[in-house]
Amino acid sequence: MKKFTFTIWDTLVFCVLAALAWGKSAQTILLAVVAFLLYVLVRWNVSKSNTSAVALSDDNEFVIHSDDNSSAQIDLEKDISYRPTRNHYRFKSRYDTGRRTAEFEYKIEGTDVFVRLLHDKFSDIGLAETWEVRDGVFLETDFRERSKNLKAVLARDIEEDIADRKKALEWHELLASYSNGLKYFILYRNLSRDDARRYLRQEMERLKLGSNRFIEEAAKIGFIHDEASEWRLRLPDGVDPSREGRQALSDSISSFGISYDELTMAPGLIAAIEKYVS
């Protein structure tokens, strides 16, 4: 329970009521006492409500990536209009002159994080601000109309495209490899200190062990460790494993407790986790 702390304004209210009741009848004094108690009750409830809101700071900012041509950032506990909103986050990105702003809701179940898209809009030079999702509803009519006006032929069937876009509106799991480890950031900011540190260290060990064991397995068919190469592996000149051997290696990733994306992203994810638990 939050402790009530007197402020200078509380003292001022008390003095005003005391001055009004001084030398008056017992009924007037009683009314003054009741008035002050009601004031204290209201002020305490307002104070309690304010403290239950999320304390927003730069610590709630998570940069997914940033370079000269593009960037993407998360503002945790804020809605699309930058207002404090618990269990939501604001996503903003830039690619060249294009801008996208979105709002997601998230929920935590144990150490799993689930998200769903609530709002999504984009803009560009010569293009008015365009909403694609509002209040968790995909604006399909507008999207179909825009698709008719595309000069280039769509690379995929529009019905498949719409179906995939609607999936983001439903609760779906935020995997560790999505958005450069955003899941770890959300858990770090929401779990208790001990629970967060324990889980993050477990994840760090899972990523390290899984990567090392997979790389050791790859070495059996000629691959050598190279962080600059795809899969963090490469083949030396003259080494050419069979197609079956390559496929078997690829299929074995999950047996090491990691996914392909986690394998390729492991160094960056581990570096991020180390900052949280340092």
Checking if the pLDDT of 256 tops 90, the result is: yes
- Listed residues 171, 187, 203: the one ending a domain: 187
Mark whether 171 and 66 lie in a shared domain.
yes
| Tokens coding 93 | 């990105």
Mark whether 99 and 135 lie in a shared domain.
yes
Mark whether 120 and 202 lie in a shared domain.
no
Look at residue 2 and tell me if it is in a domain: no
Q: Which of 28-42, 75-89, 162-176, 256-270 has the lowest mean pLDDT?
A: 28-42
Separation between Cα atoms, residue 19 and residue 162, nearest integer Å: 69
Look at residue 201 and tell me if it is in a domain: yes
The two beta strands, 172-173 and 112-124, are antiparallel
Residue 242's CB is within 10 A of a number of other CB atoms, namely 9
Mark whether 42 and 134 lie in a shared domain.
no
Mark whether 175 and 199 lie in a shared domain.
no
- Measured CA to CA in angstroms, residue 169 lies from 96, 103, 146, 191 at distances of 27, 11, 20, 25
Mark whether 196 and 118 lie in a shared domain.
no
Number of domains in the chain: 3
* pLDDT score for 146: 84
| Tokens coding 188 | 């770090």
pTM higher than the cut 0.85: no
Mark whether 40 and 161 lie in a shared domain.
no
* pLDDT score for 25: 60
* Predicted confidence (pLDDT) per residue in 83-118, tens digit: 999 999 999 999 999 999 999 999 999 999 999 999
Mark whether 75 and 99 lie in a shared domain.
yes
Mark whether 182 and 245 lie in a shared domain.
no
Look at residue 3 and tell me if it is in a domain: no
Mark whether 42 and 111 lie in a shared domain.
no
Mark whether 224 and 157 lie in a shared domain.
no
Mark whether 63 and 160 lie in a shared domain.
yes
Mean pLDDT of 178-186: 95
Separation between Cα atoms, residue 67 and residue 178, nearest integer Å: 19
Residue numbers of the domain that contains 223: 191-277
Burial class (CB in 10 A: 0-12, 13-18, 19+), 187: buried
Question: What share of the chain has pLDDT > 90, as a percent?
Answer: 63
Q: Which of 29-38, 88-97, 248-257 has the lowest mean pLDDT?
A: 29-38
DSSP-derived letter for residue 171 is -
Helix %, strand %, coil % of the chain (to 5): 50, 25, 25
Q: What is the DSSP secondary-structure string of 82-133?
A: S-EEEEEEEEEEEETTEEEEEEEEEEEETTEEEEEEEEEEEEETTEEEEEEE
* pLDDT score for 150: 65
* Predicted confidence (pLDDT) per residue in 61-85, tens digit: 999 999 988 999 999 999 999 999 9
